[in-house]
A = this chain, B = another copy of it.
Amino acid sequence: MSATANAASGSSPSNVASYKIIDSTLREADQWATNPLSRDTKVAIAKALDSFAVDYIEITSPSSSEQALEDSKAIAALGLKVEAGVGSVGLVVGASSFSSDVSHEKSLEKIQESAVEVISYLKSQNVETQFSFEDTFRSDLVDLLSLYQAVKEAGADRVGINDIIGGTTPRLVDDNVRTLRGVIKGDIECRFHDETGCAVGNAVTALEAGATHIDTTVLGIGERNGLVPLGAFSARMLVAAPEYTKGKYNLKELKALETVVSEAVNINVPYNNPVTGFSAFTHKAGIHAKAILNNPSTYEVFDPAEYGISRNVAINSRVTGWNAVRSRVDQLGLVMTDDEVKAVTAKIKQTADTRPLTIEDTDNILHAFHAELQKA
């Protein structure tokens, strides 16, 4: 049993080591940001997504406004390596009793009739198509299976399930994806919102159960609590399928990509953002810091160097330990015995009890202590 032993059990084939990423940042940012994105900003985001090498970029529906149409043309003209959503169409229909009561009154039969008609037309035009229900987890999946089969037979390239309210759990995802996998050959796309904090857990579980494509956004932006954050998902998959993940995606581009997007929609990268949050690779407590310095994998699930990020052991705290201080003493080129390092560690802990210490403060304490030793 290890952190990388994520292969699905049971009959479904796991796609943990063959998943694809459909990034919806451009679409969601437009719906979500207080201010509309300029075309230059959209182009910068599209280019950064291309550098990271996501598999698909989903764009704002060109029908939502004249400007959106022109922006879509500009992105299509960039000649990105990635599939930029202009040669493919996604159809989304609400099917739960909630949305069919409220948003429209179409019966499942009517939905099937319209969907088959649209997909048949799109296929006749050689357009890649995806079909999904908006709120699969509050629908009766068994009722929907025949509809999924019908759209698949009509030529849909991919079917999708969608937790638009962020209400599902890994266990329900496992049940639903296995059921759908049992009747549908080919690609299954999953979209998970994050209102109850389970989006990434749901995504990896979906792949284990046989889904093939996961929808993400950079930093998880999107209506309400957004959806699967690309960074957290990439970290999850770096652990679950390191070779595939490192070989396919340019992880070192994540930080630049997140910077472009956070500036575009005017948000801060959360302090606890996986991979790039400011404390993600800072270690402080004494016993942890000792182990980190000896063997980083003791308290790190992956090497931050995979993302081009370096680790940091903070010693400016009452819970620092003498091993971490020893490392800093050595970095500073100060010569001390272990007993002397232990003595100066006690001094740091004592000072940290009385006032906040910066890294510079602790360095000053080390230098002053060393100077005293030289004098004695």
Contact = CB atoms under 8 A, between A and B. Distances in A.
Interface of A: 1-3, 5-6, 8-9, 30-32, 34-36, 60, 64-68, 94, 98-99, 101-103, 135, 137-141, 164-172, 174-176, 194-202, 204-205, 208, 219-221, 223-226, 229, 232-233, 235-236, 239-240, 267-268, 270-274, 277, 279-285, 287-288, 290-291, 294-295, 297-301, 316-319, 349-350, 352-354, 356-358
B353 A197 contact: no
Contacts of A202: 201
Given A98-B297, A220-B272, A197 B165 contact: no
B233 A197 contact: yes
A102 B169 contact: no
A30 to B, nearest CB: 7
Contact of A165 (B94, B295, B299, B356): B299
A318 B271 CA distance: 31
Contacts of A284: 31-32, 223
A315 B194 CA distance: 23
A331 B140 CA distance: 37
Nearest to A92: B287
B36 A318 contact: yes
Given A298-B98, A318-B65, A235 B268 contact: no
Contact of A318 (B68, B221, B291, B318): B68
A103 B282 contact: no
6 contacts: A1-B139, A1-B141, A1-B175, A30-B318, A36-B353, A102-B291
